A and B are shown apart, each in its own frame.
Chain A
Amino acid sequence: MKIKKVMALTLAGVLSLSMLTACGSKTDSAGKELSDEKVTIRLLTRMAGTSTQVGIYNDIINEFKSKHPEVTIIDDSQGDESAFNNILTTDIASGTMANIFRIQGVANLSDYIDNGLLLNLQPYLDADKEWSGGFTEGSLSYYQVPGHEGTYAIPMESGLIGVYYNEMLFKKAGIEKFPETWEQLLDAIAKLKENGIIPIAMGAQSTYMAGHLHDQIFYKWMGTEAAKLLGNREMKWTDEGVVQTLQFEKDLIDAGAFDPSAAGITDNIALTQFQQGEAAMVITGPWNISTFTDKSATPVSDNVKVAKFPYFEEKPEFKNQDMQILSPYMVSGKLEGKELDLTIELLKMLTGKEAAKRFAEEAAFLIPRTDLDLDKSKCTDLFMQNVEIGGTSEGIGVDVFDFDPLTSMQDRTRNSIVSLFTGASAQDAAAVIQAEIDHAK
């Protein structure tokens, strides 16, 4: 009798448990989970703020949410680079990567792949040719990491990082044509200064601005391939040519190309100086085009033009070696099942043909796809100029540290470049950067 009671109780318990489990997730006969399983997708991108491209990004996410009401989206995206890096660093250290995220650089991806943090996206690219066939070949191959089979990111942003300039301020200073060479640039800086105009808007407190300027100089003096030589240690930061690139930036500082307080100014303040017509030039990427063409944000928008960074007459072979932005979306290597499928679906929606067309026409934001079919009447002149001159690049580099296997090089190089603004010499800055590499050996 007692045994019967116990058995009955056990059976009832098992039955209740199985009913409870069934409430949580239904499974089909093959054991596959059905669509009402709750899934959470976390995003960690730089798409935050109030810009038009962020609006489109949010529209796509909302569309995805309405298609999949069972999915909860947690968007941890940060517009501020430092805030973004803090979250990313914590995620990497704890191994809790967002479903979709981005890591700057290529060479350092190897460690992340080895530790299972990044998903090889090649099978998904192969399985959907309509989606994958539209990407420019170079942009996809950029994320094929040496020593590892596959493709580890999907490019979501591209375009020339050039010199945006105020044509009217140049004319006011008696300069009819944007300088094509370094010497012409130095002349233009002197004339702009004489007319009380800040030649180049620079907010070195946001260290990337000083870093991007050095990237431009580096590619025009050494070529884009030299960045790879630094990364694979065939070249040193203390080599004469590399130190010279830092010296050129120092020369610009000494020539008064920037606000004397540039080291204490943030990127927003520097950009505002340009947008308000106080500064004649700013080095930035296509992500600011929608701001520069918006008259309410940039009263001088009618005068804003874009050009390539001037080249060195001694190095004509690097005239078209340009800095371009190439930003990725990566997927966590720890996903599986329905969560993985849904993440890939969202990734495709964010980088597909339709999204690319909307981003380009409405926000001047370029996803590197060849199947865009742009309605040029909907695109701004500044965006088309950027696309046109970007198309003449013969060599493309992102940041110089992109090819460095050391993850610390983003901050190390940029901080040392900023030290040029606070009195350090080019040799000092180069020595500090090289010491970081030597220390890691």
Chain B
Amino acid sequence: MYIALFLLPALIVYLLFQIVPLILAFYFSLVEWNGISGAALKFVGLKNYIDAFHNADFLLSIKNMVKMVFFSVLFHTPIALLTAVAINTKCKGYRAFKALFFVPTVFPLTSVGLMWYFVFMPTGSLNALLKNIGLADRVVPWLVDPATAMNTIVFVNIWAGIGYYMVILLAGLTTISDELYEAASIDGATAVHKFFEITVPMLKSTISMCILMDIIGSVKVFDLVFAMTGGGPNGLTNLPTTLMYNEAFKYSHYGLGSAIGIIILIACLAGTLGSNFIMSRKHD
């Protein structure tokens, strides 16, 4: 009885701010509404979902999302693992390195986005540097050129996330007994052998968790894109999250925006279940 009482406040907050909006978002995804208080809501069934998949902007945002998830997963955990292992050797100045690598995680993503915007904008510091070192022909409008715009944002997302996964993996590394490494050394194992035969297998569950969090986190990225490009120019760097926002709040397509929100939810669930399935199969 008392336990239920203690759970109640959290449950109410959770229902009010998670479940109720979720149900309402699903309801709004089935109607058309012009975004004006008091205006009628017209039930249109699955039309908003069908429209979304016929919308070139949405398909481009899905492509951008796949790129974001793929490269984030590809680089985040491996780089984070290598830095964690390096720091775990407790080499000289390892505390300073640990703090430095973790700093980007402490900053809000909007600040990180703005900072990198000033680096990559056409008149930004990177292009100024290229000009000053005689590489003016390499100057590119990084966030405008279709060949570089999304890649630049993916790079910043990777840069901003490594510290976070590094700290998780570092915590995982402390659980591996030193005796295992000592025994391997006696058996003549090299550092590379120890890494692949002891560190990686022992961290398997931590790595799976990192990958899972990375998939969900990358699907949900919003603030970084919003701060760097706002999804532009003309939707080139939109992710489903920014497109959802633009459709609902800029174009007053609340139904379509809500449908995109539900699709993001399904993508997150699919990513989570998929990666869980792959990991559990490997365990078997």
Contact = CB atoms under 8 A, between A and B. Distances in A.
A86 B249 contact: yes
Main secondary structure, interface of A, reads helix
A418 B121 contact: no
A95 B38 contact: yes
Given A89-B35, A423-B146, A263 B253 contact: no
Contact of A117 (B37, B123, B143): B37
B252 A264 contact: no
A408 interface: yes
Interface string A420-436: 01111000000000001
Given A408-B250, A412-B251, A421 B233 contact: yes
* 7 closest A-B pairs by CB: A261-B122, A95-B37, A408-B251, A264-B144, A419-B234, A115-B38, A261-B141
A93 B41 CA distance: 12
Nearest to A264: B144
A418 B141 contact: no
B35 A422 contact: no
B36 interface: yes
Contacts of A411: 246, 250-251
A415 B234 CA distance: 5
Interface residues of A, number: 40
B127 to A, nearest CB: 8
B252 A408 contact: yes
A222 B232 CA distance: 29
Contacts of B253: 408
Contacts of A115: 36-39
B234 A418 contact: yes
Interface in A382-441: 407-408, 411-412, 415-416, 418-419, 421-424, 436, 439
Contacts of A408: 250-253
A424 B36 contact: no
Nearest to A424: B234
A136 B123 CA distance: 43
B36 A93 contact: yes
B34 interface: yes
A82 B34 contact: no
Contacts of B141: 260-261, 263-264
Nearest to B34: A111
Interface string B237-256: 00000000010011111100
Contact of B122 (A86, A93, A116, A265): A265
User: Size band of the B side of the interface?
Assistant: 20 to 34
Nearest to A204: B233
Interface string A75-98: 000000010011001101111100
Contacts of A260: 122, 141
B211 interface: no
B233 A264 contact: yes
A411 B230 CA distance: 13
B172 interface: no
7 contacts: A93-B36, A95-B38, A117-B36, A117-B37, A205-B232, A419-B233, A422-B146
B169 interface: no
A263 B233 contact: yes
A210 B190 CA distance: 61
A112 B232 contact: no
A112 to B, nearest CB: 6
Contacts of B229: 205
Nearest to A411: B250
**A264, A411, A419, A422: which has the most chain B beta carbons within 10 Å?**
A264
**B51, B234, B235: which has the most chain A beta carbons within 10 Å?**
B234
Interface string B69-104: 000000000000000000000000000000000000
Contacts of A86: 249
A205 B117 CA distance: 12
B156 interface: no
Contact of A415 (B34, B37, B144, B232): B232
A264 B127 CA distance: 13
B224 interface: no
A439 B144 CA distance: 28
Interface string A157-179: 00000000000000000000000
Contacts of A207: 232
B130 to A, nearest CB: 13
Contact of A407 (B34, B37, B232, B235): B34
Interface in B138-153: 141-144, 146
B236 interface: yes
Contacts of A235: none
A75 to B, nearest CB: 22
B150 to A, nearest CB: 13
A263 B37 contact: no
A107 to B, nearest CB: 14
Contacts of B250: 85, 89, 408, 411
Nearest to A94: B37
A92 to B, nearest CB: 6
A215 interface: no
